[in-house]
Structure 1
Amino acid sequence: MPTAPAAFLRFLALLIFAALPVAVQAQSCDGTLPPPGPDGRVAGHFPYGDASAQDIVPAPAGFGLKPYCKVHHAMLADLQRLLDAARADPAVGGELRGLSCHREVARQRNVFCRDRSMSAAERAISVAPAGYSEHATGYAIDFAVRPARGCPDAEACMAASPAARWLIANARRFGFEMSFPAGNRQRVKWEPWHWRWVGTGPGEPGATQARAVFAKARAQFPADPGIRDPLKVVVKSQPPVPMVPVAAPPAPVRKKGRRR
Protein backbone atom coordinates (compact mmCIF):
# COMPACT_ATOMS: atom_id res chain seq x y z
CA MET A 1 0.00 0.00 0.00
CA PRO A 2 1.57 3.36 -1.04
CA THR A 3 2.46 5.88 1.63
CA ALA A 4 0.63 9.19 1.89
CA PRO A 5 3.43 11.27 0.28
CA ALA A 6 3.74 8.79 -2.60
CA ALA A 7 0.00 8.81 -3.18
CA PHE A 8 -0.03 12.60 -3.19
CA LEU A 9 2.81 12.79 -5.75
CA ARG A 10 1.02 10.28 -7.97
CA PHE A 11 -2.18 12.32 -7.78
CA LEU A 12 -0.28 15.51 -8.60
CA ALA A 13 1.36 13.86 -11.64
CA LEU A 14 -2.01 12.69 -12.96
CA LEU A 15 -3.43 16.16 -12.46
CA ILE A 16 -0.60 17.78 -14.42
CA PHE A 17 -0.89 15.18 -17.19
CA ALA A 18 -4.62 15.77 -17.49
CA ALA A 19 -4.18 19.54 -17.69
CA LEU A 20 -1.31 19.41 -20.18
CA PRO A 21 -3.38 19.33 -23.43
CA VAL A 22 -5.43 22.29 -22.21
CA ALA A 23 -2.27 24.26 -21.39
CA VAL A 24 -0.73 23.54 -24.76
CA GLN A 25 -3.89 24.55 -26.61
CA ALA A 26 -4.15 27.73 -24.53
CA GLN A 27 -0.58 28.60 -25.45
CA SER A 28 -0.97 28.04 -29.19
CA CYS A 29 -4.76 28.67 -29.46
CA ASP A 30 -4.71 27.34 -33.02
CA GLY A 31 -5.19 23.63 -32.44
CA THR A 32 -8.33 23.57 -34.59
CA LEU A 33 -6.59 24.89 -37.72
CA PRO A 34 -6.17 22.50 -40.65
CA PRO A 35 -2.71 21.15 -41.44
CA PRO A 36 -0.65 22.90 -44.13
CA GLY A 37 -1.75 22.23 -47.70
CA PRO A 38 0.50 21.19 -50.61
CA ASP A 39 1.63 24.80 -51.11
CA GLY A 40 2.34 25.29 -47.40
CA ARG A 41 -0.69 27.44 -46.69
CA VAL A 42 -2.69 27.21 -43.49
CA ALA A 43 -6.25 28.57 -43.64
CA GLY A 44 -5.31 30.52 -46.76
CA HIS A 45 -2.09 32.04 -45.44
CA PHE A 46 1.44 31.32 -46.67
CA PRO A 47 4.23 30.64 -44.16
CA TYR A 48 6.55 33.53 -43.31
CA GLY A 49 9.37 33.44 -40.81
CA ASP A 50 10.73 36.27 -38.71
CA ALA A 51 12.86 38.85 -40.46
CA SER A 52 16.43 39.20 -39.26
CA ALA A 53 16.63 41.66 -36.37
CA GLN A 54 19.39 43.60 -38.14
CA ASP A 55 17.06 44.24 -41.12
CA ILE A 56 14.33 45.88 -39.03
CA VAL A 57 14.59 49.63 -38.45
CA PRO A 58 12.29 52.35 -37.04
CA ALA A 59 9.67 53.70 -39.42
CA PRO A 60 9.78 57.39 -40.42
CA ALA A 61 9.27 59.67 -37.44
CA GLY A 62 5.62 60.34 -36.68
CA PHE A 63 4.33 57.60 -39.01
CA GLY A 64 3.42 54.89 -36.50
CA LEU A 65 0.38 55.26 -34.31
CA LYS A 66 2.43 53.36 -31.75
CA PRO A 67 6.08 54.14 -30.95
CA TYR A 68 7.35 50.65 -31.81
CA CYS A 69 6.40 50.79 -35.52
CA LYS A 70 9.34 49.29 -37.42
CA VAL A 71 9.85 48.16 -41.02
CA HIS A 72 12.39 46.37 -43.20
CA HIS A 73 15.20 48.77 -44.06
CA ALA A 74 14.86 48.00 -47.80
CA MET A 75 11.42 49.63 -47.99
CA LEU A 76 12.25 52.68 -45.86
CA ALA A 77 13.13 55.04 -48.73
CA ASP A 78 10.03 54.16 -50.78
CA LEU A 79 7.80 54.49 -47.71
CA GLN A 80 9.20 57.95 -47.03
CA ARG A 81 8.64 58.97 -50.66
CA LEU A 82 5.05 57.71 -50.49
CA LEU A 83 4.35 59.66 -47.31
CA ASP A 84 5.92 62.83 -48.74
CA ALA A 85 3.81 62.54 -51.89
CA ALA A 86 0.64 61.96 -49.86
CA ARG A 87 1.29 65.01 -47.68
CA ALA A 88 1.84 67.16 -50.75
CA ASP A 89 -1.41 66.06 -52.43
CA PRO A 90 -4.55 67.82 -51.13
CA ALA A 91 -6.67 65.00 -52.61
CA VAL A 92 -5.58 62.72 -49.75
CA GLY A 93 -7.82 64.66 -47.39
CA GLY A 94 -5.97 63.53 -44.30
CA GLU A 95 -2.81 61.83 -43.12
CA LEU A 96 -1.63 58.27 -43.71
CA ARG A 97 -0.36 56.64 -40.53
CA GLY A 98 1.02 53.23 -39.61
CA LEU A 99 -1.54 51.15 -37.73
CA SER A 100 0.59 47.99 -37.70
CA CYS A 101 4.09 47.49 -39.06
CA HIS A 102 6.56 44.66 -38.39
CA ARG A 103 5.13 41.99 -36.08
CA GLU A 104 7.41 39.17 -35.04
CA VAL A 105 5.95 35.66 -34.80
CA ALA A 106 5.64 35.81 -31.00
CA ARG A 107 3.56 39.01 -31.13
CA GLN A 108 1.49 37.64 -34.01
CA ARG A 109 0.48 34.77 -31.73
CA ASN A 110 -0.92 37.27 -29.24
CA VAL A 111 -2.80 39.10 -32.00
CA PHE A 112 -4.26 35.86 -33.35
CA CYS A 113 -5.31 34.69 -29.90
CA ARG A 114 -6.86 38.00 -28.88
CA ASP A 115 -10.46 37.17 -29.82
CA ARG A 116 -11.34 33.75 -28.44
CA SER A 117 -15.07 34.15 -29.15
CA MET A 118 -14.49 32.70 -32.64
CA SER A 119 -12.84 29.49 -33.74
CA ALA A 120 -9.27 29.57 -35.01
CA ALA A 121 -10.47 28.88 -38.55
CA GLU A 122 -12.88 31.84 -38.39
CA ARG A 123 -10.18 34.13 -37.01
CA ALA A 124 -7.80 33.11 -39.82
CA ILE A 125 -10.08 34.78 -42.37
CA SER A 126 -8.99 38.18 -41.09
CA VAL A 127 -5.90 37.48 -38.92
CA ALA A 128 -3.03 35.24 -39.98
CA PRO A 129 -1.91 32.56 -37.52
CA ALA A 130 1.51 32.94 -35.97
CA GLY A 131 4.20 32.12 -38.52
CA TYR A 132 1.88 32.89 -41.46
CA SER A 133 1.68 36.68 -41.43
CA GLU A 134 3.26 38.99 -43.99
CA HIS A 135 3.96 41.39 -41.13
CA ALA A 136 6.70 39.08 -39.81
CA THR A 137 8.77 39.85 -42.93
CA GLY A 138 8.92 43.58 -42.20
CA TYR A 139 7.66 44.34 -45.72
CA ALA A 140 3.95 44.75 -44.82
CA ILE A 141 2.12 47.74 -43.40
CA ASP A 142 -1.45 48.27 -42.24
CA PHE A 143 -2.27 51.90 -43.04
CA ALA A 144 -4.69 54.04 -41.06
CA VAL A 145 -6.17 57.44 -41.89
CA ARG A 146 -6.26 60.40 -39.57
CA PRO A 147 -8.73 61.88 -38.98
CA ALA A 148 -10.67 58.61 -39.16
CA ARG A 149 -14.02 60.39 -39.74
CA GLY A 150 -16.07 57.66 -38.07
CA CYS A 151 -14.45 54.67 -39.81
CA PRO A 152 -12.74 52.28 -37.38
CA ASP A 153 -9.22 51.16 -38.24
CA ALA A 154 -8.83 47.96 -40.25
CA GLU A 155 -12.38 48.05 -41.59
CA ALA A 156 -13.58 48.02 -45.20
CA CYS A 157 -15.11 51.50 -44.88
CA MET A 158 -11.56 52.83 -45.17
CA ALA A 159 -11.67 52.07 -48.91
CA ALA A 160 -14.18 54.90 -49.39
CA SER A 161 -11.86 57.49 -47.85
CA PRO A 162 -9.93 59.89 -50.12
CA ALA A 163 -6.66 58.66 -48.58
CA ALA A 164 -7.40 55.03 -49.46
CA ARG A 165 -8.42 56.01 -52.98
CA TRP A 166 -5.12 57.86 -53.28
CA LEU A 167 -3.25 54.73 -52.14
CA ILE A 168 -5.04 52.59 -54.70
CA ALA A 169 -4.15 55.04 -57.45
CA ASN A 170 -0.56 55.80 -56.40
CA ALA A 171 0.94 53.15 -54.12
CA ARG A 172 2.37 51.21 -57.09
CA ARG A 173 4.61 54.18 -57.91
CA PHE A 174 6.39 53.55 -54.62
CA GLY A 175 6.64 49.76 -54.80
CA PHE A 176 3.56 48.83 -52.74
CA GLU A 177 0.74 46.48 -53.72
CA MET A 178 -2.50 45.39 -52.00
CA SER A 179 -2.00 41.84 -50.77
CA PHE A 180 -5.64 40.88 -50.24
CA PRO A 181 -7.96 42.54 -52.78
CA ALA A 182 -11.73 42.18 -52.76
CA GLY A 183 -12.98 38.73 -53.72
CA ASN A 184 -9.50 37.20 -53.71
CA ARG A 185 -9.32 33.44 -54.34
CA GLN A 186 -6.98 33.11 -51.38
CA ARG A 187 -10.15 33.36 -49.25
CA VAL A 188 -8.66 36.02 -47.01
CA LYS A 189 -10.73 39.00 -45.96
CA TRP A 190 -10.54 42.07 -48.21
CA GLU A 191 -7.98 44.34 -46.56
CA PRO A 192 -7.69 47.71 -48.33
CA TRP A 193 -5.44 48.84 -45.47
CA HIS A 194 -2.83 46.05 -45.88
CA TRP A 195 -0.03 46.72 -48.38
CA ARG A 196 3.25 44.89 -48.96
CA TRP A 197 6.40 46.31 -50.47
CA VAL A 198 8.06 44.53 -53.42
CA GLY A 199 9.87 47.49 -55.00
CA THR A 200 9.04 49.42 -58.13
CA GLY A 201 11.17 47.06 -60.22
CA PRO A 202 13.36 43.99 -59.83
CA GLY A 203 16.49 46.13 -60.11
CA GLU A 204 15.65 48.27 -57.07
CA PRO A 205 17.91 47.52 -54.06
CA GLY A 206 16.24 44.95 -51.82
CA ALA A 207 13.38 44.26 -54.24
CA THR A 208 14.74 40.91 -55.38
CA GLN A 209 14.73 39.57 -51.83
CA ALA A 210 11.25 40.93 -51.11
CA ARG A 211 9.86 39.41 -54.29
CA ALA A 212 11.44 36.07 -53.44
CA VAL A 213 9.68 36.11 -50.06
CA PHE A 214 6.29 36.69 -51.70
CA ALA A 215 6.93 34.68 -54.88
CA LYS A 216 4.30 32.00 -54.22
CA ALA A 217 1.67 34.47 -53.08
CA ARG A 218 2.22 36.75 -56.08
CA ALA A 219 2.16 33.86 -58.55
CA GLN A 220 -0.95 32.13 -57.22
CA PHE A 221 -2.94 35.13 -56.00
CA PRO A 222 -1.81 38.35 -57.73
CA ALA A 223 -2.22 41.59 -55.81
CA ASP A 224 -4.73 44.15 -57.05
CA PRO A 225 -3.61 46.87 -57.41
CA GLY A 226 -0.38 45.05 -58.08
CA ILE A 227 2.97 45.84 -59.59
CA ARG A 228 3.35 44.43 -63.08
CA ASP A 229 6.79 44.67 -64.59
CA PRO A 230 6.88 45.37 -68.34
CA LEU A 231 7.72 42.39 -70.50
CA LYS A 232 11.20 42.40 -71.97
CA VAL A 233 11.90 40.54 -75.20
CA VAL A 234 15.50 39.40 -75.40
CA VAL A 235 16.76 38.09 -78.77
CA LYS A 236 19.84 35.94 -78.24
CA SER A 237 20.36 35.07 -81.92
CA GLN A 238 18.99 36.30 -85.18
CA PRO A 239 16.33 33.88 -86.45
CA PRO A 240 16.84 32.60 -90.00
CA VAL A 241 15.18 34.62 -92.71
CA PRO A 242 12.66 32.46 -94.57
CA MET A 243 13.44 32.07 -98.26
CA VAL A 244 10.35 32.47 -100.41
CA PRO A 245 10.81 31.27 -104.00
CA VAL A 246 10.10 33.97 -106.54
CA ALA A 247 8.06 32.92 -109.54
CA ALA A 248 9.56 33.58 -112.98
CA PRO A 249 7.89 36.44 -114.83
CA PRO A 250 5.54 35.33 -117.61
CA ALA A 251 6.94 35.31 -121.18
CA PRO A 252 5.95 38.37 -123.21
CA VAL A 253 3.09 37.87 -125.63
CA ARG A 254 4.01 38.74 -129.21
CA LYS A 255 1.33 40.34 -131.22
CA LYS A 256 0.86 39.03 -134.74
CA GLY A 257 1.26 41.70 -137.38
CA ARG A 258 -0.90 42.00 -140.48
CA ARG A 259 0.33 40.46 -143.69
CA ARG A 260 0.82 42.95 -146.47
Structure 2
Amino acid sequence: MSKAGWPGKPSKLSSSSLDDDLPEATRETLTSQPQKKLTPLMGIVGLAIVVAIGGTGWWMTRSRNPIASTPASNPVTNNSSGAPAGTVLNHYPYPEAPTAELEAITADGGLKLRKAAAQAYKEMAAAAQTEGISLMPLSAFRSISEQEQVFLSLKQQRIQTAEQRAAVSAPPGYSEHHTGYAIDIGDGNVPATNLSPDFEQTAAFKWLQANAPRYNFEMSFPKNNKQGVSYEPWHWRFVGDRQSLETFFKARGQQPESPGSTSPSVSPDSSSRDSSQPESAQPENTQPETP
Protein backbone atom coordinates (compact mmCIF):
# COMPACT_ATOMS: atom_id res chain seq x y z
CA MET A 1 0.00 0.00 0.00
CA SER A 2 1.26 3.43 -0.73
CA LYS A 3 1.75 6.13 1.82
CA ALA A 4 -1.34 7.92 0.60
CA GLY A 5 -3.43 5.22 2.22
CA TRP A 6 -2.23 5.95 5.76
CA PRO A 7 -4.30 8.21 8.00
CA GLY A 8 -2.85 11.43 9.21
CA LYS A 9 -1.53 14.48 7.48
CA PRO A 10 -1.71 14.05 3.71
CA SER A 11 1.52 14.31 1.93
CA LYS A 12 2.04 16.43 -1.14
CA LEU A 13 1.79 14.46 -4.33
CA SER A 14 3.81 15.24 -7.33
CA SER A 15 2.54 14.82 -10.84
CA SER A 16 5.05 12.02 -11.31
CA SER A 17 3.65 10.07 -8.37
CA LEU A 18 0.14 10.40 -9.78
CA ASP A 19 1.34 9.08 -13.06
CA ASP A 20 2.93 6.13 -11.30
CA ASP A 21 -0.39 5.21 -9.63
CA LEU A 22 -2.44 5.38 -12.84
CA PRO A 23 -2.53 2.75 -15.52
CA GLU A 24 -0.59 3.66 -18.65
CA ALA A 25 -3.70 3.77 -20.83
CA THR A 26 -5.42 6.23 -18.49
CA ARG A 27 -2.27 8.28 -18.29
CA GLU A 28 -2.33 8.89 -22.03
CA THR A 29 -5.90 10.18 -22.05
CA LEU A 30 -5.15 12.77 -19.37
CA THR A 31 -2.18 14.18 -21.20
CA SER A 32 -3.15 17.62 -22.65
CA GLN A 33 -3.38 17.72 -26.43
CA PRO A 34 -1.58 20.53 -28.27
CA GLN A 35 -3.99 23.16 -29.79
CA LYS A 36 -4.06 23.59 -33.52
CA LYS A 37 -2.72 27.00 -34.57
CA LEU A 38 -4.17 29.11 -37.39
CA THR A 39 -1.77 29.32 -40.24
CA PRO A 40 -1.11 32.74 -41.86
CA LEU A 41 -2.87 31.49 -44.99
CA MET A 42 -6.09 30.80 -43.08
CA GLY A 43 -6.01 34.34 -41.58
CA ILE A 44 -5.61 35.93 -44.97
CA VAL A 45 -8.49 33.93 -46.41
CA GLY A 46 -10.75 34.95 -43.53
CA LEU A 47 -9.91 38.61 -43.91
CA ALA A 48 -10.60 38.42 -47.64
CA ILE A 49 -14.05 36.99 -46.96
CA VAL A 50 -14.90 39.81 -44.50
CA VAL A 51 -13.76 42.48 -46.97
CA ALA A 52 -15.73 40.89 -49.79
CA ILE A 53 -18.94 40.80 -47.72
CA GLY A 54 -18.50 44.42 -46.56
CA GLY A 55 -17.74 45.65 -50.08
CA THR A 56 -20.83 43.97 -51.47
CA GLY A 57 -23.02 45.71 -48.88
CA TRP A 58 -21.45 49.12 -49.60
CA TRP A 59 -21.96 48.66 -53.37
CA MET A 60 -25.62 47.75 -52.89
CA THR A 61 -26.17 50.86 -50.70
CA ARG A 62 -24.40 53.11 -53.23
CA SER A 63 -26.53 51.72 -56.06
CA ARG A 64 -29.72 52.56 -54.19
CA ASN A 65 -28.64 56.14 -53.35
CA PRO A 66 -26.21 57.52 -55.97
CA ILE A 67 -26.96 61.19 -55.12
CA ALA A 68 -25.75 60.81 -51.55
CA SER A 69 -22.46 59.30 -52.66
CA THR A 70 -21.71 61.97 -55.31
CA PRO A 71 -21.99 65.57 -54.05
CA ALA A 72 -23.62 67.92 -56.53
CA SER A 73 -21.59 70.87 -57.76
CA ASN A 74 -22.46 74.25 -56.24
CA PRO A 75 -21.57 77.03 -58.72
CA VAL A 76 -21.71 80.66 -57.65
CA THR A 77 -24.87 82.34 -58.93
CA ASN A 78 -26.00 85.92 -58.97
CA ASN A 79 -28.52 85.27 -56.22
CA SER A 80 -26.27 83.30 -53.89
CA SER A 81 -26.27 84.45 -50.28
CA GLY A 82 -29.29 86.66 -50.91
CA ALA A 83 -27.66 88.78 -53.63
CA PRO A 84 -30.13 91.09 -55.42
CA ALA A 85 -31.59 89.75 -58.66
CA GLY A 86 -29.92 90.96 -61.83
CA THR A 87 -26.55 91.55 -60.19
CA VAL A 88 -23.10 90.10 -60.69
CA LEU A 89 -21.20 89.78 -57.43
CA ASN A 90 -23.83 92.08 -55.86
CA HIS A 91 -23.37 94.85 -58.44
CA TYR A 92 -25.90 96.11 -60.98
CA PRO A 93 -25.02 96.62 -64.66
CA TYR A 94 -24.63 100.19 -65.95
CA PRO A 95 -24.03 101.67 -69.40
CA GLU A 96 -21.01 103.83 -70.09
CA ALA A 97 -21.77 107.54 -70.41
CA PRO A 98 -21.06 109.07 -73.83
CA THR A 99 -17.91 111.20 -73.82
CA ALA A 100 -19.82 114.12 -75.36
CA GLU A 101 -22.06 114.31 -72.27
CA LEU A 102 -19.19 114.66 -69.80
CA GLU A 103 -17.87 117.86 -68.26
CA ALA A 104 -14.68 118.41 -66.26
CA ILE A 105 -14.93 119.10 -62.51
CA THR A 106 -11.20 119.69 -61.97
CA ALA A 107 -8.91 122.34 -63.42
CA ASP A 108 -6.76 119.79 -65.24
CA GLY A 109 -9.82 118.12 -66.77
CA GLY A 110 -8.82 114.75 -65.38
CA LEU A 111 -12.11 114.10 -63.56
CA LYS A 112 -15.45 114.39 -65.32
CA LEU A 113 -19.15 113.90 -64.64
CA ARG A 114 -22.28 114.19 -66.70
CA LYS A 115 -23.03 117.85 -67.27
CA ALA A 116 -25.92 118.10 -64.79
CA ALA A 117 -23.95 116.22 -62.14
CA ALA A 118 -20.82 118.28 -62.81
CA GLN A 119 -22.66 121.58 -62.35
CA ALA A 120 -24.30 120.36 -59.14
CA TYR A 121 -20.99 119.12 -57.74
CA LYS A 122 -19.18 122.38 -58.45
CA GLU A 123 -21.94 124.32 -56.72
CA MET A 124 -21.80 121.98 -53.75
CA ALA A 125 -18.01 122.20 -53.45
CA ALA A 126 -18.13 126.00 -53.64
CA ALA A 127 -20.79 126.13 -50.91
CA ALA A 128 -18.71 123.86 -48.69
CA GLN A 129 -15.63 126.02 -49.24
CA THR A 130 -17.43 129.09 -47.88
CA GLU A 131 -17.84 127.17 -44.63
CA GLY A 132 -14.22 126.09 -44.47
CA ILE A 133 -14.88 122.60 -45.79
CA SER A 134 -12.62 121.27 -48.53
CA LEU A 135 -14.36 118.67 -50.71
CA MET A 136 -11.72 116.85 -52.72
CA PRO A 137 -12.88 114.88 -55.80
CA LEU A 138 -10.94 111.61 -55.95
CA SER A 139 -12.62 109.71 -58.78
CA ALA A 140 -15.53 110.43 -61.09
CA PHE A 141 -16.46 109.00 -64.50
CA ARG A 142 -14.65 105.77 -65.22
CA SER A 143 -14.79 103.82 -68.47
CA ILE A 144 -15.29 100.07 -68.58
CA SER A 145 -11.68 99.57 -69.69
CA GLU A 146 -10.46 101.64 -66.73
CA GLN A 147 -12.65 99.59 -64.43
CA GLU A 148 -10.95 96.45 -65.68
CA GLN A 149 -7.70 97.81 -64.32
CA VAL A 150 -9.28 98.76 -61.00
CA PHE A 151 -10.99 95.41 -60.58
CA LEU A 152 -8.97 92.73 -62.36
CA SER A 153 -5.42 94.06 -61.99
CA LEU A 154 -5.77 94.91 -58.31
CA LYS A 155 -7.53 91.61 -57.69
CA GLN A 156 -4.47 89.83 -59.04
CA GLN A 157 -1.97 92.05 -57.24
CA ARG A 158 -3.71 91.65 -53.90
CA ILE A 159 -4.36 87.93 -54.40
CA GLN A 160 -8.10 88.33 -53.91
CA THR A 161 -11.00 86.17 -55.03
CA ALA A 162 -13.63 87.78 -57.26
CA GLU A 163 -16.01 87.87 -54.29
CA GLN A 164 -13.44 89.59 -52.08
CA ARG A 165 -12.63 92.17 -54.73
CA ALA A 166 -16.31 92.83 -55.45
CA ALA A 167 -16.87 93.78 -51.81
CA VAL A 168 -14.80 96.92 -52.41
CA SER A 169 -14.91 97.43 -56.19
CA ALA A 170 -17.42 96.66 -58.92
CA PRO A 171 -16.60 94.37 -61.84
CA PRO A 172 -16.16 96.09 -65.23
CA GLY A 173 -19.53 96.97 -66.67
CA TYR A 174 -21.13 97.05 -63.21
CA SER A 175 -19.81 100.25 -61.68
CA GLU A 176 -21.80 103.39 -60.94
CA HIS A 177 -18.78 105.32 -62.16
CA HIS A 178 -19.61 104.23 -65.73
CA THR A 179 -22.76 106.36 -65.60
CA GLY A 180 -20.99 109.69 -65.10
CA TYR A 181 -23.17 110.34 -62.05
CA ALA A 182 -20.98 108.84 -59.31
CA ILE A 183 -18.07 110.50 -57.53
CA ASP A 184 -15.67 109.61 -54.73
CA ILE A 185 -15.08 112.53 -52.37
CA GLY A 186 -12.37 113.11 -49.79
CA ASP A 187 -11.54 115.77 -47.24
CA GLY A 188 -8.83 118.04 -48.60
CA ASN A 189 -7.80 118.85 -45.03
CA VAL A 190 -7.48 115.20 -43.97
CA PRO A 191 -6.17 113.27 -47.00
CA ALA A 192 -5.18 110.29 -44.86
CA THR A 193 -8.87 109.33 -44.70
CA ASN A 194 -9.32 109.20 -48.47
CA LEU A 195 -11.20 106.08 -49.62
CA SER A 196 -11.35 104.87 -46.02
CA PRO A 197 -14.25 104.28 -43.63
CA ASP A 198 -12.47 106.79 -41.39
CA PHE A 199 -13.70 109.46 -43.79
CA GLU A 200 -16.93 109.42 -41.78
CA GLN A 201 -15.03 111.11 -38.94
CA THR A 202 -14.11 114.14 -41.05
CA ALA A 203 -15.77 117.53 -41.27
CA ALA A 204 -16.25 116.99 -45.01
CA PHE A 205 -18.36 113.87 -44.46
CA LYS A 206 -20.48 115.50 -41.78
CA TRP A 207 -21.06 118.45 -44.10
CA LEU A 208 -22.09 116.09 -46.92
CA GLN A 209 -24.52 114.27 -44.66
CA ALA A 210 -26.24 117.53 -43.85
CA ASN A 211 -26.02 119.25 -47.23
CA ALA A 212 -25.48 116.81 -50.12
CA PRO A 213 -29.24 116.21 -50.60
CA ARG A 214 -29.62 119.94 -51.25
CA TYR A 215 -27.52 119.39 -54.39
CA ASN A 216 -29.17 116.05 -55.24
CA PHE A 217 -26.30 113.83 -54.15
CA GLU A 218 -26.76 110.75 -51.98
CA MET A 219 -24.47 108.09 -50.55
CA SER A 220 -24.64 104.88 -52.57
CA PHE A 221 -23.44 102.41 -49.96
CA PRO A 222 -24.39 103.21 -46.37
CA LYS A 223 -23.69 100.77 -43.57
CA ASN A 224 -25.40 97.39 -43.76
CA ASN A 225 -26.76 98.07 -47.25
CA LYS A 226 -28.96 95.39 -48.74
CA GLN A 227 -26.76 95.13 -51.79
CA GLY A 228 -23.98 93.62 -49.69
CA VAL A 229 -21.31 96.13 -50.73
CA SER A 230 -18.82 97.39 -48.16
CA TYR A 231 -19.63 100.66 -46.40
CA GLU A 232 -18.31 103.56 -48.51
CA PRO A 233 -18.89 106.96 -46.91
CA TRP A 234 -16.82 108.57 -49.68
CA HIS A 235 -18.94 107.28 -52.61
CA TRP A 236 -21.80 109.56 -53.66
CA ARG A 237 -24.04 109.76 -56.71
CA PHE A 238 -26.14 112.38 -58.40
CA VAL A 239 -29.90 111.77 -58.64
CA GLY A 240 -31.00 115.25 -59.70
CA ASP A 241 -32.78 114.62 -63.00
CA ARG A 242 -34.96 112.05 -64.67
CA GLN A 243 -32.11 110.39 -66.54
CA SER A 244 -30.04 109.83 -63.41
CA LEU A 245 -33.03 108.50 -61.51
CA GLU A 246 -33.97 106.13 -64.30
CA THR A 247 -30.38 104.97 -64.61
CA PHE A 248 -30.31 103.72 -61.04
CA PHE A 249 -33.94 102.59 -60.80
CA LYS A 250 -33.90 100.68 -64.06
CA ALA A 251 -30.78 98.83 -62.99
CA ARG A 252 -33.05 97.15 -60.42
CA GLY A 253 -36.05 96.78 -62.68
CA GLN A 254 -37.89 99.67 -60.99
CA GLN A 255 -39.28 102.97 -62.17
CA PRO A 256 -39.39 106.39 -60.49
CA GLU A 257 -42.79 107.26 -59.05
CA SER A 258 -42.88 110.56 -60.92
CA PRO A 259 -41.28 109.86 -64.29
CA GLY A 260 -42.52 113.13 -65.78
CA SER A 261 -40.84 115.27 -63.17
CA THR A 262 -37.49 116.86 -63.95
CA SER A 263 -36.96 117.64 -60.28
CA PRO A 264 -36.46 114.37 -58.40
CA SER A 265 -39.13 113.91 -55.78
CA VAL A 266 -38.09 110.30 -55.22
CA SER A 267 -34.68 108.72 -55.09
CA PRO A 268 -33.55 105.11 -54.67
CA ASP A 269 -32.21 105.75 -51.17
CA SER A 270 -34.42 108.29 -49.49
CA SER A 271 -38.01 109.42 -49.52
CA SER A 272 -37.32 113.03 -50.45
CA ARG A 273 -34.69 115.11 -52.18
CA ASP A 274 -36.46 118.45 -51.76
CA SER A 275 -33.94 121.23 -51.14
CA SER A 276 -36.11 122.44 -48.27
CA GLN A 277 -34.83 119.48 -46.25
CA PRO A 278 -31.05 120.03 -46.16
CA GLU A 279 -30.57 118.28 -42.85
CA SER A 280 -31.52 114.80 -44.01
CA ALA A 281 -28.91 112.27 -42.98
CA GLN A 282 -27.44 109.43 -44.95
CA PRO A 283 -29.80 107.40 -47.19
CA GLU A 284 -32.12 104.86 -45.61
CA ASN A 285 -31.96 102.18 -48.26
CA THR A 286 -29.07 100.75 -50.24
CA GLN A 287 -27.96 101.11 -53.79
CA PRO A 288 -25.34 100.19 -56.41
CA GLU A 289 -21.61 100.37 -56.57
CA THR A 290 -18.13 101.16 -55.47
CA PRO A 291 -14.80 102.68 -56.61
Q: Residues 34 and 42 of structure 1 are in contact (CA less than 8 Å); yes or no, is this contact kept in structure 2? A: no
Distance 1:109 1:149, change over 3 A: closer
Label 1:99 to 1:149 Cα distance change in 2 as closer, same or farther (>3 A): closer
Which of 232, 235, 249 is matched with 1:191 structurally? 232
Task: Classify 1:143/1:229 alpha carbon distance in 2 versus 1 (closer, same or farther; 3 Å).
Answer: closer
AA at the equivalent of 2:180:
G
| Residue of structure 2 in register with 1:250 after alignment | none
Distance in 1 separating the partners of 2:93 and 2:77: 12
**Counterpart check, 1:61 vs 2:107:** yes
Please give the secondary structure, in 2, of the residue aligned with 1:171: helix
Instruction: Specify which of 145, 153, 158 is matched with residue 106 of structure 1.
Output: 145
Residues 140-159 of structure 1, C-alpha deviations (whole Å, 9 max, x = no match): 000011122643x2110000
Task: State the one-letter code of the partner of 1:98.
Answer: P
1:210 corresponds to which of 244, 259, 275: 244
Q: Partners of 1:58 and 1:209 in 2: how far apart?
A: 19
| Structure-1 separation of matches of 2:236 and 2:192 | 22
Q: 1:210 to 1:34 in 2, by over 3 A?
A: farther
2:91 to 23, 39, 45: 45
Contact map agreement 1:60 1:80 (CA 8 A) in 2: no
1:127-172, Cα deviation, whole Å (9 max, x unpaired): 0000000000000000011122643x21100001011100011000
1:75 matched residue in structure 2: 117
* Alpha-carbon shift at residue 81 of structure 1 (Å): 1.1
The TM-score normalised by the length of structure 2 is 0.57
Q: Normalized per residue, which structure has more helix? A: 2
Alpha-carbon distance, 1:222 to partner = 4.3
Indicate how the Cα distance of structure 1 residues 69 and 124 shifts in structure 2: closer, same or farther if over 3 A, else same. Answer: same
Question: Which has the larger Rg?
Answer: 2
Alignment correspondent of 1:228 = 272
Amino acid at match of 1:155: S
Map 1:100-249 onto structure 2 (within 5 A): 100-113=139-152, 114-116=154-156, 117-148=159-190, 150-151=192-193, 153-199=194-240, 207-216=241-250, 222-223=268-269, 226=270, 228-229=272-273
SS in 1 for 2:243: helix
How many pairs are equivalent? 181
Letter aligned with residue 247 of structure 2: V
Indicate the RMSD between aligned Cα atoms, in angstroms: 2.4
Partner SS, residue 110 of structure 2: coil
- Conserved? CA contact 2:249–2:268, under 8 Å: no
Q: Distance in 2 between matches of 1:61 and 1:149?
A: 19
Residue identity over aligned pairs, in percent, reads 36
Gaps of at least 5 residues in structure 1 are: 1-32, 200-206, 231-260
| TM-score, length basis structure 1 | 0.64
Contact residue 78 and residue 90 of structure 2 kept, 8 A: no
Q: 1:150 to 1:36 in 2, by over 3 A?
A: closer
